[in-house]
């Protein structure tokens, strides 16, 4: 396409591509001069301690890491490109799979972007917004639980892993009750939600909050004061405020430097300014501080969840505008969730216009006025930003996810170089990267 | 909802004005005659070869992006624009030559920056105490093929940066446009090291070449991948997949079903 791509050259061994811009010559020259102690270790992409298909390329001298680099892209699924060939509503089914541990954040961020492009932000029913907040905060708990659980497992603290996944299962049960799925929900839709809360959901969430209140202190007993745990985490993966700003690190990494930056407070969306909660910080700039922040954030999320339950008032969960709102009314039938029988009767029996309308909206979708927006939410990992561009069509022209895992993972080198090999694991775990979000 | 916009494009070159058709009119936030017309789209799905199997072949639609805004921009936008223009003048730069246009749309401020001035603008935005955009949230590429016919210079490839100021709690957007034929723009990794991977991603998917990037290599796709997958003219199928010397035929050629 242009001269900028790798230029091919025919050799007896086949086509050779010269990748420009790399510092391979320097790398090769430096490798020649190296002493015998210096080894390059490939950690991953299948190593259980690298959080999925992350490849760490470590240059080590004895036990000291002298250089650390990441190889990513093993989980690239082309979701952003795929979105451009689906309707705006179908997009939510794709974005939920990006960072698969924070599906509700992906969906909400995307839908906030689409809704701002449509100019219907003010028309989103309160009930839909409250349920979004409720699910996002439950999701923050489940994401932090996985971060703590896998981080503990990588240290050999398998009890933390068992506890973390035990409690996450409670959250997943709530998801399953509300959305029908444990992951990849596609529950938040442009304009509102796919369906209302099922009967019994509020009670289930209340029971969960009660149970979680009892379980959360166990992590303190198990880990927070544990001298071995502290010994492994304190002072590891150091990244100060200047480093965070330069590397664009947000979320617990940034708050562990003492800066209480949280988009829920600074740029409130979904009515977060009306909820009562605190932004925990630490000033240790290390993995232990990030662990403490995650624990405290789960406590705060429980507070928000309770406030959501208290303010849930009956009402619609989708915008009233029939040109945007999904036409079908979902109902649970003997063969699972589907269009309600009343709706089928109406469009098949009494109203041809309704049938046409249903058909057009479902197959073609609604149009979104041209323009671009940037919608950002505070995901458990940091700032999740969505750049949505429309050209006025029924499908997104371009959607870009600024996933916090991707950006934060860049700080791996700064955290690991000069440290011990064993501390690389701790540092990476404290970043909490999810490769589905990194590679998208 | 949207800020004040002045009409920048000519009023409808291609006959039917889809902004006036029934479907479009009933939707909120339509731009009507305002904005900058960048392209006239025919049909629904962009396919030109083959018959009109979709039935949408007769659809003609002028694509209008938000046009240039006029003062006042509203909110903190005027303050940011004033400070930026002032800071550029102090450096001996003409703001009009640096900022090609300013767009205010849907409560968001966009500066379109001439590509040669991007690093200077980024540094000013980061370092000036009155601006202080400490956090760059990376770069996102957007490809608008076929826009060259409506402009003197090609502006097909856009690099979009979002800058966040934690100090002042603000967010702005910078947009740099380069032609397909010369997809070079300066890297701002010096100013915002976080853009290292983001620029590699934009290079990988859009072929935007960030001059001055320390190691501009592919980040998601394999090293030897041909072409830039998120460009709009990248073929969606029908081409063999080649990876590390292996060659897998296109899906429609893998097996004979006859």
CA distance A132 to A272: 11
Q: Residue A218 class from Cβ within 10 Å (0-12 exposed, 13-18 middle, 19+ buried)?
A: middle
Q: Average pLDDT, stretch A299-304? A: 93
Checking if the pLDDT of B5 tops 60, the result is: no
Is B1 a member of any domain? no
How many independent structural domains does chain B possess?
A: 1
Beta carbons of A306 and A209 less than 8 angstroms apart: yes
**More confident of the two residues B10 and A113:** A113
CA distance B223 to A21: 12
Residue A70 — φ and ψ, nearest 5°? -110, 140
For residue A258, give Cα distances in angstroms to A123, A290, A374.
37, 11, 27
Percent of chain B residues past pLDDT 90, beyond the cut: 26
Give the orientation angle of helix A201-219 with respect to helix A287-311, to 10 degrees: 160
Confidence bin at B161 (pLDDT 50/70/90): very high
How far is it between the farthest Cα atoms of chain A?
Answer: 83
Would residue B68 count as lying in a domain?
Answer: no
What are the Cα distances from residue A73, in Å, to A397, A403, A426, B248? 23, 14, 22, 20
Helices (H) and strands (E) in chain B, counts: 5, 11
Partners of B213 on chain A (C-beta within 8 Å) are 21
Quickly count: other Cβ atoms within 10 Å of residue A31's Cβ. 11
Residues 77 through 116 of chain B touching chain A, CB cutoff 8 Å: 105-108, 110
**For chain A, domain boundaries:** 7-71, 79-320+366-439, 330-363
Give dist(CA A189, CA A110) in Å, integer: 9
Q: What local confidence, expressed as pLDDT, does residue A341 receive?
A: 83
Does the structure show a pLDDT above 70 at A149? yes
| Cβ contacts from A onto B, under 8 A | 176
pLDDT of A57 over the 80 cut: yes
Q: Choose between A175 and B49: higher pLDDT.
A: A175
Report pLDDT for A1: 40
Interface probe for B, chosen from A3, A4, A244 (most Cβ of B below 10 Å), is A4
Across chain A, what does the average pLDDT equal? 87
Sequence-distant (6+) residues with CB within 8 A of A34 are none
The SS3 of residue B7 is coil
Q: Mean pLDDT, to the nearest integer, of A284-296?
A: 92
- Position B23 scores a pLDDT of 45
Looking at residue B26, what is its pLDDT?
Answer: 46
Chain A contact present for B231, CB below 8 A:
yes
Q: Is residue B120 part of a domain?
A: yes
CB under 8 Å to A47, separation ≥6 — which residues? Answer: none
| Cβ within 8 Å, pair A119-B219 | no
What is the average pLDDT across B83-102?
A: 86
State the pLDDT at residue A324: 85
How far is the C-alpha of B39 from the C-alpha of A123, rounded, in Å? 31
Q: What percent of chain A lies above the pLDDT cut of 70?
A: 95
Q: Which domain holds residue B117?
A: 77-211
Q: Check residue A198 and give its pLDDT.
A: 87
Higher model confidence: residue A20 or residue B162? Answer: B162
> Residue A423 pLDDT more than 80?
yes
Those of residues 149-208 in B touching chain A at CB distance below 8 A are: 160, 162, 164, 166, 169, 171, 173, 180-181, 183-184, 192-198, 201, 203, 205, 207
Q: Is the pLDDT of residue A135 over 70?
A: yes
Q: Which B-chain residues 111-140 have CB contacts (< 8 A) with chain A?
A: 134-138, 140
**Cβ(A411)–Cβ(A244) under 8 Å?**
yes
A191 vs A396: CA distance, rounded Å: 15
Query: CA of A176 to nearest chain B CA: how many angstroms apart?
Result: 33
Q: Residue B100 — φ and ψ, nearest 5°?
A: -70, -40
Q: Give the integer Cα–Cα distance in Å for A130 and A309.
A: 8
Q: Which two tokens stand for residue B138?
A: 């990376």
Return the percentage of chain A with pLDDT > 90, whole number. Answer: 43
Burial class (CB in 10 A: 0-12, 13-18, 19+), A355: middle
Q: Is residue B89 part of a domain?
A: yes
User: Out of A119, A247, A371, whose CB is closest to B193?
Assistant: A247
Q: State yes or no: pLDDT of A433 exceeds 80.
A: yes
Mean pLDDT across A133-158: 91
pLDDT beyond 90 at B41: no
At A38, list the tokens: 């210096």
pLDDT at A407: 93
Rg (CA), chain B: 21
A82-to-A34, A76, A87, B41, B77 alpha-carbon distances in Å: 45, 12, 10, 20, 34
CATH numeric code, A79-320+366-439: 1.10.645.10
CA–CA distance, B148 with B177 (Å, rounded to integer): 11
CB A344: neighbour CB atoms within 10 A?
16
CATH number for the domain spanning B152: value is 3.30.460.80
Alpha carbon of A386: minimum distance to chain B alpha carbons (Å): 10
Residue B65 in any domain: the answer is: no
Residue B14 has pLDDT above 70, yes or no: no
Confidence check: pLDDT of B10 > 50: no
Residue A374 in this model has a pLDDT that exceeds 60: yes
Distance CA B39, CA A223 (A): 60
Predicted confidence at residue B30, as pLDDT, reads 53
Residue pair B141/B205 in contact by the 8 Å Cβ criterion: yes
Judged by a CB distance cut-off of 8 A, whether residue A109 touches chain B is no
Per the omega criterion (within 30 degrees of 0), is the bond before B72 cis? yes
Q: Write down the pLDDT at residue B175.
A: 92
Distance from CA of A418 to the nearest CA of B (A): 20
Q: Please check the confidence at residue B6 and state whether its pLDDT lies above 60.
A: no
Q: Is residue B113 part of a domain?
A: yes
> Looking at beta carbons, which residues of chain B come within 8 Å of A369?
27-31
Is A246 touching B (CB cutoff 8 A)? yes
Report whether pLDDT(A176) > 60: yes
Q: What is the DSSP letter of A136?
A: H
Phi, psi for residue A192 in degrees, rounded to 5? 160, -125
pLDDT number for residue B46: 64
Give CA–CA dist A18/A1, Å, rounded. 16
Name the closest residue on chain A to residue B229, using Cα atoms.
Answer: A81
Confidence of residue B151 (pLDDT cuts 50, 70, 90): low
What average pLDDT does this structure show over A242-271?
Answer: 91
Which residues on chain A are in Cβ contact (under 8 Å) with B224? Answer: 6, 17, 19
Asked if B206 contacts B185 with a C-beta cutoff of 8 angstroms, the reply is no
Q: How far apart are CA A359 and CA A368, in angstroms?
A: 18
- B26, B164, B219 member nearest A323 (Cβ): B26
* Interface mutation target, options B164, B167, B200, chain A, most CBs of A under 10 Å: B164
């Amino acid at each position: 396409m242009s001269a900028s791509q790798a230029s091919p050259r025919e050799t007896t061994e086949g086509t050779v591509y010269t990748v420009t811009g790399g510092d391979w010559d320097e790398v090769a020259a430096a490798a020649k001069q190296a002493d015998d102690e210096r080894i390059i270790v490939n950690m991953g992409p299948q190593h259980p301690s690298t959080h999925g298909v992350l490849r760490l390329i470590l240059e080590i001298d004895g036990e000291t890491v002298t250089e650390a680099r990441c190889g990513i892209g093993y989980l690239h699924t082309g979701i952003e490109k795929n979105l451009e060939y689906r309707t705006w509503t179908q997009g939510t089914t794709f974005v939920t799979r990006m960072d698969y541990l924070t599906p509700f954040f992906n969906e909400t961020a995307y839908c906030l972007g689409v809704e701002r492009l449509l100019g219907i932000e003010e028309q989103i029913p309160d009930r839909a917004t409250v349920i979004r907040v409720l699910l996002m905060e439950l999701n923050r708990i489940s994401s932090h639980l996985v971060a703590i659980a896998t981080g503990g497992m990588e240290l050999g603290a398998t009890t933390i892993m068992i506890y973390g996944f035990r409690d996450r299962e409670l959250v997943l049960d709530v998801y399953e009750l509300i959305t029908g799925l444990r992951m990849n929900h596609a529950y938040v839709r442009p304009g509102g939600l796919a369906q209302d809360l099922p009967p019994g959901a509020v009670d289930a969430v209340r029971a969960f909050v009660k149970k979680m209140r009892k379980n959360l202190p166990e992590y303190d007993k198990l880990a927070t004061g544990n001298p071995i745990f502290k010994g492994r985490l304190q002072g590891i993966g150091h990244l100060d405020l200047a480093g965070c700003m330069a590397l664009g690190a947000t979320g617990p990494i940034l708050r562990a430097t003492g800066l209480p930056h949280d988009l829920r407070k600074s740029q409130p969306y979904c009515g977060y300014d009306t909820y009562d909660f605190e932004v925990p910080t630490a000033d240790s700039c290390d993995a232990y501080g990030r662990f403490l922040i995650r624990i405290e954030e789960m406590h705060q999320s429980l507070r928000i969840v309770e406030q959501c339950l208290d303010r849930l008032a009956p009402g619609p969960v989708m915008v009233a505008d029939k040109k945007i709102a999904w036409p079908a009314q979902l109902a649970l039938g003997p063969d699972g969730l589907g269009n309600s029988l009343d709706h089928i009767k109406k469009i098949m029996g009494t109203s041809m216009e309704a049938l046409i309308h249903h058909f057009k909206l479902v197959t073609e979708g609604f149009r979104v006025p041209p323009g671009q927006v940037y919608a950002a939410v505070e995901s458990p990992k940091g700032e999740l930003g969505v750049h949505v561009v429309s050209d006025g069509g029924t499908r997104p022209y371009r959607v870009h996810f600024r996933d916090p895992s991707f950006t934060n993972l860049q700080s791996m080198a700064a955290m690991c170089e000069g440290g011990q090999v064993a501390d690389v694991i701790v540092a990476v775990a404290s970043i909490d990267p999810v490769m589905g979000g990194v590679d998208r | 909802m949207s800020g004040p916009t002045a009409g920048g494009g000519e009023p409808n070159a291609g006959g039917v004005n889809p902004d006036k058709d029934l479907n479009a009119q009933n939707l909120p936030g339509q731009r009507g005659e305002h904005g900058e017309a960048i392209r006239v789209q025919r049909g629904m799905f962009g396919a030109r070869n083959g018959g009109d199997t979709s039935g949408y072949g007769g659809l003609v639609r002028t694509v209008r992006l938000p046009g240039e805004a006029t003062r006042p921009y509203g909110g903190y936008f005027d303050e940011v624009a004033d400070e930026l223009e002032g800071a550029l003048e102090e450096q001996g730069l003409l703001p009009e030559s640096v900022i090609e246009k300013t767009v205010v749309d849907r409560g968001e401020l966009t500066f379109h920056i001439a590509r040669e001035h991007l690093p200077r603008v980024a540094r000013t935005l980061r370092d000036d105490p009155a601006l202080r955009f400490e956090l760059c949230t990376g770069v996102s590429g957007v490809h608008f093929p076929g826009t060259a016919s409506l402009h003197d210079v090609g502006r097909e490839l856009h690099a979009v940066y979002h800058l966040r100021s934690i100090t002042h709690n603000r967010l702005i957007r910078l947009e740099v446009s380069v032609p397909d034929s010369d997809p070079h723009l300066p890297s701002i990794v010096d100013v915002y090291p976080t853009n290292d991977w983001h620029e590699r991603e934009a290079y990988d998917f859009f072929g935007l070449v960030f001059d001055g990037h320390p190691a501009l290599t592919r980040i998601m796709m394999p090293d030897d991948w041909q072409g830039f997958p998120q460009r709009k003219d990248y073929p969606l199928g029908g081409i063999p997949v080649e990876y590390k010397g292996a060659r897998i035929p296109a899906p429609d050629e893998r097996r004979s079903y006859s």
